[in-house]
Amino acid sequence: MSLDGSHRWPDRSDSLADKAGLIGWFATFGVLAMMALVAEMTTATWSLREAALVALVAGLAVFAGLLLRRHQLTDQSLAAERRQLSTAVNNNPPGRVLYDATARIVICNQPYLDMFGLSPDVAKPGCTMQRLIGHRKETGSFDGDVDEFCNAIIQKVSLGKATRQLTEAPGGRAIEIINRPLKAGGWVATIEDITERTRAERKIAHLAHYDGLTDLPNRVLFRERLEQALEAMQPGEQLAVLYIDIDEFKSVNDALGHPIGDELLKVVATRLRDCIKAGDVAARLGGDEFAVIQTGIKNRSETTELVDEIYAAIRQPFECAGHLITTDASIGIALAPGDGTDLDQLLQNADLALYGAKGDGRRTHRFFEAGMDERARARRSLELELRQALSDGGLEVYYQPVINLRDGKVSSCEALLRWRHPERGMISPAEFIPVAEETGLIDQLGLWVLNTACAEARHWPDHVRIAVNVSPVQFRTRTLALNVAAALAASGLSAGRLELEITEAVLIRDDEAALAALHQLRNLGVRIALDDFGTGYSSLSYLQRFPFDKIKIDRAFIRDLASSGASSSIVQAVVNIAAASEMTTTAEGVETEQQRNLLYILGCTEMQGYLFSPAIPAADVRHLLLSHRGSAVSAA
């Protein structure tokens, strides 16, 4: 009997049946012989020898009966075992085929037949391996050379070696076949569907080499591809590595939340992928850092063209969750072999070039140049010393008075951060403020200036306000309004005496979120001034969307005020716009009496500049305000 009920099992059951027949015949014969002897005893006298013979025959008959009974029980057990084995083999998920030493099937289970869609009339005990694999080829689940495949396996298992093959079953399923030789000869083939396991392994391998958010190659794969590209570089060819850092990405995360920040990263990744040619690599190294490998270039201009294409792509605004977001980037570039052929050296030089681009104001690109390493070390040293100065109290706040052009009195003072370095003396804010913004120190610096300035203004006359600058990075933190409220409460300064100065850079990234933050500050009662007016992108549109208290006219227009250019017309237009909206105007950088007089004639409200006073320490400004009380600068 076979596993499916239609084929016979080539085992010992046949020989046992034959033996059972002999035992039955012998038992019957013994019983008949004993009956004949008993009958004869009734008519004759038996000798002792004859009696012993009768007893022997009777015993043999009984023994034969016992053997027959035992055989019947053994046969039933074997049948039950066969049924259990059939059930176990056919319900075991892996396909299994047992071959004997002549490479013929002994057992072939149902999962194997189902896996390849085979006929039980072919894949049955006694079928050769060649016929089985040939049947697979006929049904489309094997496309190799049958004899070559079978001979290779038979040869290995005959030497006691296991084999493993991967193949594909109908429907694209991945199949693993393992052949394990048996000591008594023959072998067991285990055939398993490993499609899901293979998918999982591929997914794990993919995650190990690709960024989970953007699906770009990650840092590990980027290094591997760069190493391969360096090895494949031909004489006369160059290779470019571009490090790309998204400007002010942290501000987007802080102002709009991480989900929108993630969407921005995915958009940047897609646009970078679209910019590169086949064979080049775009990768995400982590956070807002991306990289590109440009291969097969002949000169530097090809890389410059790629940089221009990247800028054109990522500067395009995109809408996300109702926000129109624009972005920009700083890019550092190193070229092989000129800037190095060693992988780590090339990456370090690209990083130094990126550092140089950030140091030059961001939103630009820089190629690596000799000396960048030294400048980077100096910039890093400056960062560490700035942290130390903030910790040790090495920073100061200076105050520059703002004069009312109508009565000549000091109406406010602007708080300006100063750093007196123990060795280098005064360090310009233009040098250390960008470092503070890049490293995130600007939040601590801004909070310290805010608290210090509010506490100082508490000692001034009540009509004199304090103006504090707020950087774009600091402005986009969700805690700005809370920090302002805390500074007012700690100092006891009334909210109406605090004036926050912002630039258009605060607004251009996402004006809706910025305007919402401005309204929060306005609700506290503080005044809001738009600084450096006219130097941004859309000054007039912002004046229509938010009621600023003051407009500060950039010094670039004041410098040429007395010339025949358009500066005076621009200043006049700004003054008229401000007056129509009940805003005051402050002219920055006033250095001459002529400039002051012209501003008075044009209707400007206030002036600020060296003509009256530079920024001075707190003790000096107190003395100035005390001596200036009740007096005024004469007006024209």
Of 442, 443, 421, the residue nearest 433 (C-alpha): 442
User: 381 falls in which pLDDT band (50, 70, 90)?
Assistant: confident
Beta carbons within 10 angstroms of residue 196's beta carbon: 10
Phi, psi for 108 (deg, rounded to 5): -140, 115
- Using a 10 angstrom Cβ sphere, with 0-12 exposed, 13-18 middle and 19 or more buried, the burial of residue 332 is buried
Is the dihedral angle over the CA atoms 506, 509, 512, 516 positive or is it negative?
A: negative
pLDDT of 8 reads 39
More confident residue, 99 or 85: 99
Query: What integer is the mean pLDDT of 442-462?
Result: 94
Specify the long-range contacts of residues 392-397, CB closer than 8 Å, at least 24 apart: 394/419, 394/420, 394/421, 394/422, 395/419, 395/445, 395/448, 396/420, 396/617, 397/449, 397/452, 397/453, 397/456, 397/618
Nearest to 28 by CA among 5, 49, 57, 70: 57
CB 177 within 8 A of CB 189: yes
Predicted confidence (pLDDT) per residue in 609-628, tens digit: 999 999 999 999 999 998 86
Q: Return the minimum-mean-pLDDT range out of 4-18, 235-249, 543-557.
A: 4-18
pLDDT digits (tens, 9 = 90+) for 345-378: 999 999 999 988 887 777 899 999 887 877 777 8
Tokens standing for residue 525: 């009662």
DSSP string, 357-417: HHHTTSSSEEE--TTHHHHHHHHHHHHHHHHHHHHHT-EEEEEEEEEETTT--EEEEEEEE
Of 155, 154, 136, 156, nearest to 144 (Cα)?
136
HSE (side-chain half, CA atoms, 13 Å) at 367: 14
Find out whether 435 and 379 touch, Cβ atoms under 8 Å: yes
Mean pLDDT of the 394-411 span: 94
Q: What percent of the chain has pLDDT over 70?
A: 80
Determine the pLDDT at residue 66: 58
What are residue 167's DSSP bridge partners?
175
Q: Transcribe 316-330 into DSSP letters.
A: S-EEETTEEE---EE
Tokens of 543: 């004046």
CB 141 within 8 A of CB 114: no
173, 199 Cβ separation under 8 angstroms? no
* pLDDT (0 to 100) of residue 76: 59
Q: If DSSP codes are grouped into helix, strand and coil, which group holds residue 180? A: strand
Mean pLDDT of the chain: 82
pLDDT tens-digit series, residues 474-504? 776 778 889 999 999 999 999 999 999 988 7
3-class DSSP state of 164: strand
Q: Above pLDDT 90, what percent of the chain? A: 48
